Amino acid sequence: MKVLVTGAAGFIGFHLAKRLLERGDTVAGVDNLNAYYDPALKISRLEQLRGLQGFQFARADIADREAMEEVFGGERFDAIVNLAAQAGVRYSIENPYAYIDANIVGFMNILEGARRHRTGHLVFASTSSVYGLNMDLPFTESQNTDRPISLYAATKKANEVMAHSYAHLFGIPATGLRFFTVYGPWGRPDMALFKFTKGILAGEPIPVFNEGRMVRDFTYVDDIVEGVVRVIDRPAAYRIFNIGNHQRVELMAYIRAIEKALGMKANLDLLPMQPGDVAATEADTSALEAATGFRPHTPVEEGVQRFVDWYRGYYNA
């Protein structure tokens, strides 16, 4: 297939593009290489992809209407996977317009490109953050998601309803995927695993919010990619899936796994809960399993060890 992957230089986009290329698909990657975190890491990911047959890349911002019209005008795509977004709960409090530009205006350009050029299946990233103030675990796709507690989550909820309207009006097959705390090699420097690993190796205190009383459904990136690929190959009118490991892992247990992988103890800086954060997440993935036959399964200890091995090698740490 010919697949458009936006955010191709990003964490998940890189892993997905690599997997699609390795199975023989052609990938048109788009990324604006912004400075939300060190662009050198994004460029390193791109260098990996450029070494694989069938990869094309355009540096473009999905919020740039003319640039995206040029991307879509070149050829017809069998599928689109929209992973380009402004990520991060806490950053959305400080820089709200970045989220409107990338996650609302940018997604609108993706929808319009899909409509005007009659592309195939649209798969797009949503987030577990849409569950907001819901307290009933595990989260199921049928639960109400009208109470997001961060602008980031609100923009992702908006993506879901925008895609539904286009699926209904124009017959665009669309699938939204609610990712649950993705981690793994080549991960984002603003995420906990990266920051904790870097801090422990440097002998610095690591910030632990809500004094460590957090529970997350940590999901290894290869499991995310497997779920995305299976969804791409199974278009439907419109649907939403959770992709998570279906495991409640306490933050302190996650930190212990990092300590074990590094062979070093962490110096914890216990802090209060941050605005926009939730205390616990866990995914019910039965709908994904029923539709695709796949259920994420990588244990946290194994995934953390793979990240630490990558980090030590990449940074010569």
Domains of the chain (ranges plus CATH)?
2-187+218-245+282-298 (3.40.50.720)
Q: Could you tell me if 254 and 197 are in contact, meaning their C-beta atoms sit under 8 angstroms apart?
A: no
How far is the C-alpha of 9 from the C-alpha of 222, rounded, in Å?
16
Q: What is the pTM of this model?
A: 0.96
> Residue 41 has what pLDDT?
97
Indicate whether 221 pLDDT > 90: yes
Predicted confidence (pLDDT) per residue in 266-299, tens digit:
999 999 988 888 889 999 999 999 999 999 999 9
Q: Apex CA 116: angle with CA 112 and CA 120, to 5°?
A: 90
Phi first, then psi, for residue 27 (nearest 5°) are -120, 125
Question: 276 or 250: whose pLDDT is higher?
Answer: 250
When the pLDDT of each residue in the chain is averaged and rounded to a whole number, the result is 96
Indicate whether 135 pLDDT > 90: no
> Residue 316 has what pLDDT?
95
Helix (H, G, I), strand (E, B) or coil at 143: coil
Predicted confidence (pLDDT) per residue in 290-314, tens digit:
999 999 999 999 999 999 999 999 9
* Structure-block tokens of residue 177: 């995927």
> Residue 264 has what pLDDT?
97
Strands laid side by side in the 55-59 sheet? 55-59, 26-31, 2-6, 79-82, 121-127, 174-179, 238-243
Helix (H, G, I), strand (E, B) or coil at 263: coil
Predicted confidence (pLDDT) per residue in 68-106, tens digit:
999 999 789 999 999 999 998 888 988 999 999 999 999
Between the CA of residue 307 and those of 32, 208, 212, 294, what are the distances in Å? 25, 19, 21, 23
Catalytic residue among 152, 166, 254, 311: 152
Percent of the chain having pLDDT more than 90? Answer: 93
Radius of gyration of the chain (CA): 19
Is 91 among the catalytic positions? no
Q: Could you tell me if 244 and 183 are in contact, meaning their C-beta atoms sit under 8 angstroms apart?
A: no
Mean pLDDT value across residues 33-46 = 96
Q: Which helix (H) or strand (E) holds 125?
A: strand 121-127
